[in-house]
Amino acid sequence: MKIINTYSFKGGEKFLKTKHAKELAEVLEAIKNLDATTCLTKESAEKTMKGALLFSPRDMNHHLKTALHKKNWTAKANDKKKEYAEPRHAFGKGRFREMDGIKNKVGLEIQFGKYAFMGYDIFSKMIIFKNLGYIKCGIEVVPAAELVKQMSTGVSSFDQLLVDFNNRGESSIDIPVFVIGIGLTNQEKEKAVKLKELFKNDRKGALTSFKLRKYHGSKPGPK
C-alpha cells in the first residue's frame, strides 16, 4: 500500500520525526509492505452493491497489527485466536480502553470505522492514554477517500477527518498526532480490478485462489 495523504495535528509529524523516528519508520514500513489485495475478502450484502468483492477493514487492520506486533507494538496474546494483544487499561470490571499499539510512548490507532471513531481516537482516547502516562504522541492510520469507495458503506476517510481538524482547532489538552491516509499502489489497483472481474464472472473459480472472510453473528459494518 502507499501513503496518499498526511496531516500533522499539533506538530505531530515534526514531533515524531524528531523524537520517535524509529517508531514512525516501523509504521510506514508496515503500510508499504501490506499487499492490499490480500484483504479483498468481503462479499457485499448491501442492496446497492450486492455480491461485489470489497476490501475488508478487519483484514486490513489485522495485517497491519500483525506486522507491527513483530516490532513489539503489542504484547503476545494468551489465546490462540490471534498472536497479539492490544494494550489495554482497565477502569473496573467490564470497563476498559485499548489502543491498537503502543511503543516508547507512541500510541497507534488503525481506524477503518465510522467517522465518529476517528475523531474519538484523536480527541479523546489518545488524551486518556496520555493522562494515564502511556503515551506522549500518536499516529492515526486511516483510509484515503479512494480506498473507501471500495469498502462497505459507512467507512469514513481522511477527507472526513480533515473537516474536524479545519473547524475544531487545537486544545491545550491535545497531543501531537500524525495522521496518515493510505490507499492502493498502481499495481494493487490493477490486480484488484482483475480479482473483482474474476469473482463477478466465475465466483467458484475465484475462491480457489482466495477465501472470503467468515463473519459470525450479525454481519458487521466497518471495523
For the chain, the structural domain boundaries read 2-39+50-75+97-206
Task: Tell me which amino acid residue 116 is.
Answer: A
Instruction: Tell me how far apart the alpha carbons of residues 100 and 192 are, in angstroms, rounded to a whole number.
Output: 27
- Look-up: residue for cell 504484547? 75
Around Cβ 54, how many Cβ atoms within 10 Å? Answer: 21
**What integer pLDDT is reported at residue 215 of this predicted model?**
52
The sign of the CA dihedral 41, 45, 50, 51 is positive
**What integer pLDDT is reported at residue 205 of this predicted model?**
83
DSSP 155-175: ---HHHHHHHHHHH---TT--
How far is residue 64 from each of residues 69, 70, 213, measured CA to CA in Å? Answer: 9, 10, 17
Q: The domain at 2-39+50-75+97-206 falls in which architecture?
A: 3-Layer(aba) Sandwich (3.40)
Asked if residues 174 and 26 have their Cβ atoms less than 8 Å apart, the reply is no
Which of the 8 DSSP states describes residue 36? Answer: G
**What integer pLDDT is reported at residue 220 of this predicted model?**
43
Strands 95-98 and 88-92: antiparallel
Instruction: Tell me how far apart the alpha carbons of residues 136 and 176 are, in angstroms, rounded to a whole number.
Output: 8
Asked if residues 175 and 137 have their Cβ atoms less than 8 Å apart, the reply is yes
**What integer pLDDT is reported at residue 8 of this predicted model?**
97
The sign of the CA dihedral 10, 140, 155, 121 is negative
**What integer pLDDT is reported at residue 142 of this predicted model?**
97
Each residue's pLDDT, cut to its tens digit, for the chain (223 residues) gives: 999 999 999 999 999 999 999 999 999 999 999 999 999 999 988 888 888 999 999 999 999 999 999 999 999 988 777 889 999 999 988 899 999 999 999 999 999 988 788 999 999 999 999 999 999 999 999 999 999 999 988 899 999 999 999 999 899 999 999 999 999 999 999 999 999 999 999 988 888 877 887 654 444 444 3
